[in-house]
Amino acid sequence: MTQDFQGRTAVVTGGTGGIGSAVVRRLVLAGCKVVSVSLNAEEAAASLAAESGAECLNLDVRDRKVVMDALAPADPDFLVLAHGALGRTGTLFDQPEDSVHRLLDVNVLGVQNCLQAVIPGMIARNDGHVVMIGSVAVYPSLGQPVYSATKAAVHSMARNLRMELFPHRVRVTEVRPGRVASGMHAEMFEGGLAEAKKRLYDPVHCLTPDEIAEAIVWALEKPAHLCVAELEILATEHVIGGVRYHGL
């Protein structure tokens, strides 16, 4: 028997773009009250609120006090952590300091801030579900080494959180998508989204934000005794791994 979303509350970070907005729309349609959290996206937030009826908060997940003040009173049943940052393509040894700090602050500390605001309420109710968006970038990859490191941190945090929450009935799901045509990759190139489409989206089959959102809602609706702990989603044409040899 699946869970009923009627009367339930969800907080979705990164809620005005890509995977986050797709999750917001699906949860609202399912009857959930949704609080969408995003940064500097007033126009997108207004559009999303008008379209879906979700409450939209302009909030920086890096600011612990702001996060605590805004999210703790919301006391959500579901927390979907879909915010994230990328950086310019490069190597581990040539990253600008400000870029490294931004990636760590958004992708790791921002996650921890949200957990600190929301988890105590879930423990008190002995009920709740956290979805953490990781990435297949946890595997070694070229071009985004610091981003990969932050997603490896999210992977570790998700597993650790499940241990910490035992024996409470608070579930934790880590979702690791392959390449998603969400627009997020615009950060990687001087040419922005147009260059990202040219290099990363158009040549291959990419996943869509709505496909990932569908999987997230599928995990959320499972009965309380069942936890989808990890979910890795790839395009059929996307394979991870391989061996590299110099000269071959």
Residues 140-157: tens digit of each pLDDT: 878 889 999 999 999 999
Q: What is the DSSP letter of 137?
A: G
Give the model confidence (pLDDT) of 77-117 as tens digits: 999 999 998 887 889 999 999 999 999 999 999 999 999 99
The Cα 8–Cα 78 span in angstroms is 8
The answer to whether residue 121 scores a pLDDT higher than 70 is: yes
Given a cut of 80, whether residue 202 has pLDDT beyond it is no
Categorize the per-residue pLDDT at 199 as very low, low, confident or very high, splitting at 50, 70 and 90: confident
Strand order in the sheet with 33-38: 55-58, 33-38, 9-13, 78-81, 128-133, 170-177, 230-233
Q: Give the whole-angstrom CA distance, residue 82 versus residue 69.
A: 20
Taking only the tens place, the pLDDT of each residue in 82-91 is: 999 888 788 9
Quickly state the pLDDT bin for 50 (edges 50, 70, 90).
Answer: confident
- What are the extents of the domains in the chain? 9-232
Does the domain at 9-232 match CATH 3.40.50.2300? Answer given as no
What pLDDT is attached to residue 161? Answer: 98
pLDDT at 78: 98
Cα–Cα–Cα angle for 165, 166, 171, rounded to 5 degrees: 60
Mean pLDDT of the chain, nearest integer: 91
* Rounded mean pLDDT, 197-204: 77
Q: What value does the mean pLDDT take over residues 64-86? A: 96
Say how far apart CA 125 and CA 170 lie, in whole Å.
Answer: 9
pLDDT at 1: 60
pLDDT in tens, 203-214: 888 899 999 999
pLDDT in tens, 8-40: 999 999 988 899 999 999 999 999 999 999 987
The pTM of this model reads 0.93
Dihedral sign, Cα of residue 129, residue 225, residue 4, residue 155: positive
| Spatial separation of the C-alpha atoms in residues 93 and 126, rounded to whole Å | 45
Name the residues annotated as catalytic: 147
β-strand partners of 173:
131
State the pLDDT at residue 239: 85
